[in-house]
Amino acid sequence: MAKPLLSVLGDALNVPSVRANTDPRQIKTEILSGLTVALALVPEAVAFAFVAGVEPLVGLYAAFIVGLITAVFGGRPGMISGATGALAVVMVSLVAQHGVEYLFATVVLMGLIQIFVGVMRWGKFIRLVPHPVMLGFVNGLAIVIFLAQLVQFQVPGTAEVSGHGMSGGEWLSGWPLVLMLGLVALTMAIIWGLPKLTNIVPAPLAGIAVVAVLVIALGLNTPVVGDLASIQGGLPSFHIPMVPLTWETFEIILPYSVILAAIGLIESLLTLNLVGEITGRRGGASKECIAQGAANTVTGFFGGMGGCAMIGQSMINVNSGGRMRLSGISAALFLLAFILFFAPVIELVPLAALVGVMFMVVIGTFAWNSLKILTKVPLVDAFVIVLVTGVTVAYDLATAVVVGVIVSALAYAWQNARRIHARTEITEDGAKIYAIDGPLFFGSAEGFSELFDPENDPDLVIVDFAASRVADQSALTAIEALAAKYEAAGKRLELRHLSRDCHYLLTKAGQLMTDSEDDPDYALAVDYGVRTGQLGAGH
């Protein structure tokens, strides 16, 4: 028997998730999920193109190319990528000052940087993002998605570009507002209620279809996709960015490329983890970095504005049943079909239906349990959740995540710095033992030094590190300084239960260590070049 076409495609592309599941019902779900995502992508891509100051097709082409490449080669089946607001707000100043050709060149360089990050396997460092930062990330992003939908409640053509989308327009009022709210509520009710009756069709797609038919059949006067802009166009064509190949051009685009690459990877990798929690999958960070980079490099050569993972559309996909790469591939292909053939039809879709879908995404994305645990978790964790949420809304996701990680790391360092203390005892022969308890690292080095009294201690002092751990170069320096103090006082110091790394890395105090069978064995977070004499431990 001949293989199904989908299985053949999966074999050709080496895509396990496409090869593994060719159940007709799941395939139908994947395709319908992709159609739902494609419908939701249209107004988002158009709006973000306006934010960046480029033509709508520049955003739509980016959504198609980035979405297709990452769907095929990305690190997490079910994730959706495309043009995003987080990137658009950075692009707007570049486009305003230098033009769209510089944007295309910037997107190419951005992609190459992301590929380099993936090849170096730096994506694994996303695991350093603490859980409170993740909660703040999803909460802030849910609020941003909600705020971005409010522009649809303004009279078409009156809004202006702002940080998270379009704003400053004239608000709907009277019957148009009532009709808009009613259609949004109807869409949300269908999405909420349909799964209780049947799962034949993804609820978001059913909501969009029912509201669209209702509006068209009754001739209701409500904003539609076509009021934003025309999405009619042709195939994206290969286009080398028309910029001078000079060092000055590189100096212009490099800062933007680095910022865009960082924002895109942070948002993509956090979305990767979030989707992984829902679908039960792990890993793929480096693969996602390479896929995002390749997608952006190609996009820059085909007149697209670049992009990254979209948590809103990813949530629509997984909640609609999309678990394979097929859903993301079909979403991209449907979007291209809209541009080439079905623009007149898609432009009739009511914006209220798409707003209703995104409002349900907001409800599903926001970590409501985080509100309950704010009074139960440590104060620092509660502060980080609120901080990251606020910075996400006020600035951008990348800034929020970086701020959250820094605050969490500093809080952790401070808490551990206060843990170090010593238990002392005097032996029968008059020696004094300092039994160190707690980690010794840069934050606790000063506190460690304050534990000792070289002037008044006896002639023999023993420092026991059995209940401690020497973590970094600052800790080694503190031990060296302590040894120097006792040497200057003419007293003998012995160091016990230090790891073999300390034997290698300590220079002046190395001869003071005594070996024991129960010495610990762990690696220090310092440059192993110290072992070869390239870096002095006391320097």
Dist. CA 308–CA 291, nearest whole Å = 10
Q: Are residues 362 and 457 in the same domain?
A: no
Could you tell me if residue 78 is inside a domain?
yes
Report which of residues 380 and 395 the model is more confident about.
380
Q: Are 45 and 331 in contact (CB under 8 A)?
A: no
Q: Are 249 and 315 in the same domain?
A: yes
pLDDT at position 90? 86
Q: Is residue 384 domain-resident?
A: no
DSSP-derived 3-state class of residue 166: strand
**Residue 504 CA: distances (Å) to CA of 63, 107, 146, 234, 470:** 54, 47, 57, 66, 13
User: What total of structural domains would you count in the chain?
Assistant: 2
Between these two residues, 331 and 518, which has the higher pLDDT value? 331
Examine the domain organization and report whether 359 and 485 are in the same domain: no
What residues contact residue 303 under an 8 Å CB cut-off, 6+ apart? 57, 58, 61, 104, 236, 237, 239
Q: Are 217 and 357 within one domain?
A: yes
**Range of 512's domain?**
418-532
Asked whether residue 5 is assigned to any structural domain, the reply reads: no
* Confidence at residue 523, expressed as pLDDT on a 0 to 100 scale: 57
Same domain assignment for residues 103 and 216: yes
Give dist(CA 60, CA 43) in Å, integer.
9
Using the 8-state DSSP alphabet, how is residue 165 labeled? E
Residue 445: give its domain's CATH number: 3.30.750.24
Percentage with pLDDT > 70 across the chain: 86
pTM of the model: 0.76
Give SS3 for 171.
Answer: strand
Does 319 lie in the same domain as 458? no
- Among 342, 371, 400, where does a domain finish? 371
Answer yes or no: do 70 and 204 share one domain.
yes
Bridge partners of 433, per DSSP, are: 425, 462
Q: Is residue 309, in this structure, part of any structural domain at all? A: yes
Identify the band that residue 415 occupies on the pLDDT scale cut at 50, 70 and 90.
confident
pLDDT for res 513: 65
Same domain, 437 and 338: no
Higher-scoring residue by pLDDT: 47, 425: 425
Same domain, residue pair 147 and 215: yes
Residues 58 and 193 in one domain: yes
Which of 5-14, 35-44, 165-174, 245-254 is predicted most confidently?
A: 245-254
How far is Cα 284 from Cα 22, in angstroms, rounded to an integer? Answer: 23
pLDDT, the chain, mean: 85
pLDDT of 25 over the 50 cut: yes
Same domain, 364 and 470: no
- The answer to whether residue 412 is domain-embedded is no
434 part of a folded domain: yes
Task: Classify residue 330: in a domain, yes or no.
Answer: yes
Of 371, 392, 407, the position where a domain reaches its end is 371
Q: How confident is residue 501, by pLDDT bands cut at 50, 70 and 90? A: low
Question: Do 60 and 189 sit in the same domain of this protein?
Answer: yes
In this prediction, residue 201 carries a pLDDT of: 86
pLDDT value of residue 398: 79
Say whether pLDDT at 62 is over 90. yes
Buried b (16+ CB within 10 A) or exposed e, 140-151: bbbbbbbbbbbb
Q: What phi and psi, each to the nearest 5 degrees, are found at residue 58?
A: -65, -40
Q: Is residue 239 part of a domain?
A: yes
